[in-house]
Amino acid sequence: MSGKLFDLSGEVAAVIGGTGALGGAMAQALGEAGAKVAIIGRSAERGGERVQQIQAAGGTAIFQSADAMSRDSLTAARDAIASQLGTVTVLVNAAGGNKPDATLPPGSDFCKLSNAAWNEVFDLNLVGGVLLPSQVFGESMVAAGKGSIINIASMSGMIPLSRVVAYSAAKAAVINLTMFLAREWATKGVRVNALSPGFFPAEQNRKLLFNDDGSYSARGQQIIGHTPMARFGTAEELGGATVWLAAPKASSFVTGQNIVVDGGFSSVTI
């Protein structure tokens, strides 16, 4: 019974940001569970590498170039994927990130944070990260009466972490928009949920968490000390929650939720 619950055969998954470490691992898990996967991003090289990895594991995958900040580009990608794999039934919105100009160094003045830097981070994580892809792919899901949208939020969207104020606020907005869309499409056959990863070392945050010699930075040590499992997560550890939320049988009554994968970080209050 459990195998059938998590079988994604017949599903077509589009993973925006599938060229990154976390999005790529989620795409890999979907492909190995039986979904046909479209890796959407701007790097054909990294997208092609992930496609090869999914195919090597026995899955079906293609790379589709698209700009998540362009409705026309996303619409063209949606139609191209439909012609090659079929109508998308699972959308993973894994594009996003922070910008140096929107990060407050220790001792800096919040009042000096520029509107341009703030807006850039919000556009990256909320507009291109969730809003536009959900509108474009969600339209076809609603028309088909079937679909699962998985947005990538963040631990910082739940707990306003120091220094990354714009990123934290944008991810909090992602969680709110997830809940709105879940309510909006609950009777349309489309489920909308979010995943909030804890601390997963990747290209963007590695220098923040580690020193050049590979040891933990002061911030990395602080995070590890606050995490009951006493380690960072690995990208592959997002796979199980991703497949569960994508599987129409396993999570058929789950919508509007923010699933936390953080090694217990959010359970520690002191």
User: What is the full DSSP assignment across the chain?
Assistant: -HHHHT--TT-EEEEETTTSHHHHHHHHHHHHTT-EEEEEES-HHHHHHHHHHHHHTT-EEEEEE--TT-HHHHHHHHHHHHHHT-S--EEEE------GGGS--TT--GGG--HHHHHHHHIIIIIIIIIHHHHHHHHHHHHHT-EEEEEE--GGGTS--SS-HHHHHHHHHHHHHHHHHHHHHGGGTEEEEEEEE-----TTTHHHHB-TTSSB-HHHHHHHHH-TT-S---GGGGHHHHHHHH-TTTTTT--S-EEEESTTGGG---
Q: How far separated are the first and last CA of the chain, in Å rounded?
A: 41
Which amino acid does the sequence have at 227? T
Length of the chain: 270
Distance, in Å, from the CA atom of 151 to the CA atom of 28, rounded to the nearest integer, reads: 17
Angle formed by the axes of helices 21-32 and 239-246, nearest 10° = 60
- Reference 181, options 215, 130, 231; nearest CA is 130
Q: Is 167 one of the catalytic residues?
A: yes
Indicate which residue of 167, 199, 200, 265 is catalytic.
Answer: 167
Active-site residues, by number, are 167
